[in-house]
Structure 1
């Protein structure tokens, strides 16, 4: 099974991944991972490589895998015989989806313009285990929607919990399980605030400073001094006006260490899922 977006999963899938992340290390896995990573992705790249090694998986880097002019079905047809799965960071989500549909191997989205499922599964795992069970937690997203926030939206729909998203009215959307409010109408009794870098499109369209309100210490106080979980890389003076290191509720750098067990669990989960079947099987004999 692929992991392209959280909307494709069932609650049991997510709970199984989290159970694997919190369980004892399993046996070594066999096979080679095709690994393509657009951009820096310092933390995600670090922990995926560590996860491959921890699980005994070989990996081959294929730079710019989906940046060629080849059709996705041709790429998959030629490459599938050599790999057990693909881990791909690719901004073009439709092309990533087309490749996954063509391939007989599992494909993991290590981030696209549409979503960041591995990151959000990790952060939600932290909230569920360390702060409050997710169904009871009051999670606040600060700022306009990003790929990270879209994965939070999907997770809320799948798991059946609510989100509050604080941003200027022009960024509000009609989404199930998400309550959009303006910075002047802050929610109270929030358990955790998640921030992300502002999208370039939002910054380009801002007409006043109030359109993009950075999170301040006063905002956090008004919401009951919740835990602060900034999505890195964060920038002081943009989405954050408060230095996380000076805020007692900062979840800390160690929170991102959970990327390793969660990504390892995702790898185990996709490889344990039922193998794909389709017309591309004939390529395995060539």
Structure 2
């Protein structure tokens, strides 16, 4: 089993991963193939710490999927040496194709189409700090991004509803997502993400006035966030900012993902 997109999981898988977050640490051992495109400061930090705390040995394979070699050949040659792959690669189709070819689990540490571990972490925060995710009123603010696509997938997997506020040109039919161009009543948590290049003219940054109209929900911006970009309010000046400490949960959730995939 791989975690390339959240749609690959069942609701039972998600609950099992969250349960492992709260369980005592387990020494799973094994060897990780690690390929990480770009900076990804927080994700890189917490995955490397997760490997260390789980006593996993790590071999770095820079630009693993940038080669012109067929992924079936890559997997065939490399699988005997590794127990799991953790890959950050912009080409989502390439990761998916590699995962389908490999006999080992593959973790998407971020691609152009998804950021599953980030969203599992934020959803765990909501579930454990704000309330049961099926009852919490969650609002996504801004155009579709890899983070928001993963939220859409999680809503389908766990059967809860989202409100996604964005320009009408981005409204598409998704059963568990209610699209709107402006706030629909109150919310318990609002999630933002950086705008994709070229969408700036189609979107409005989240403002204090918007937050007040929604009943001052918890503000959970996806880092790196830009004040003056997707936000016109500085989260540090907003009393219900989820806070920097919230992202510490990346470490235990990523550890739980690795444990789940290595032990099922």
Output the TM-score relative to the length of structure 2: 0.98
Aligned to 1:4: 4
* Aligned twin of 1:284: none
Cα deviation for residue 176 of structure 1 reads: 1.1
1:51 alignment partner in structure 2: 50
Q: 1:247 aligns with which of 227, 238, 249?
A: 238
Once the two structures are TM-superposed, the CA of residue 24 in structure 1 deviates from its matched residue by 1.6
Q: Which residue of structure 1 aligns with residue 249 of structure 2? A: 258
- CA distance in 2 between counterparts of 1:80 and 1:30 reads 16
Cα displacement (A) at 1:269: 0.3
Aligned position for 2:131: 132
Structure 1 moving runs of 4+ over 4 Å: none
Deviation at 1:19, TM superposition (A): 0.3
C-alpha distance in 1, partners of 2:158/2:133?
A: 8
1:75-86 equivalent positions in 2, closer than 5 A? 75-86=74-85
Q: Deviations over 1:118-155 (max 9, x none)?
A: 00000000000000110000000000110000000000
Aligned counterpart in structure 1 of residue 223 of structure 2, from 210, 215, 232:
232
**Alpha-carbon distance in 2 for matches of 1:254, 1:212:** 28
Q: Answer with 1 or 2: which has the greater Rg.
A: 1
Tell me the CA shift for residue 192 of structure 1.
0.2
Q: Kindly state the Cα deviation for residue 170 of structure 1 after the two structures are TM-superposed.
A: 1.5
Aligned to 2:192: 195
In 1, the alpha carbon distance for the partners of 2:133 and 2:60 equals: 36
Matched, 1:101 2:87: no
1:123 and 2:122 correspond: yes
Measured against aligned partners, the alpha-carbon deviations of 1:43-98 in whole angstroms (never above 9, x if no partner) come to 00000000000000010111100000000011111111111100000111111111
Kindly tell me the number of residue pairs found equivalent between the two proteins.
264
Distance in 1, matches of 2:7 and 2:260, equals: 16
CA distance in 2, matches of 1:201, 1:177: 27
1:222 to 213, 229, 252: 213
Q: Determine the structure 2 residue equivalent to 1:279.
A: none
Segments of structure 1 that go 5 or more residues without pairing to the other structure are 274-286
Structure 2: which 5+ residue stretches go unaligned? none
Matched with 2:59 is 60
Which whole-Å CA distance do the structure 1 matches of 2:82 and 2:56 have between them? 11
SS at match of 1:254: helix
What is the rounded CA distance, in whole Å, between the counterparts of 2:124 and 2:174 in structure 1? 23
1:1-49, Cα deviation, whole Å (9 max, x unpaired)? 10111111111000000000112212x1221100000111100000000
* Corresponding position of 1:70: 69
Deviates more, 1:72-81 or 1:12-21: 72-81
Deviation, structure 1 residue 172: 1.2
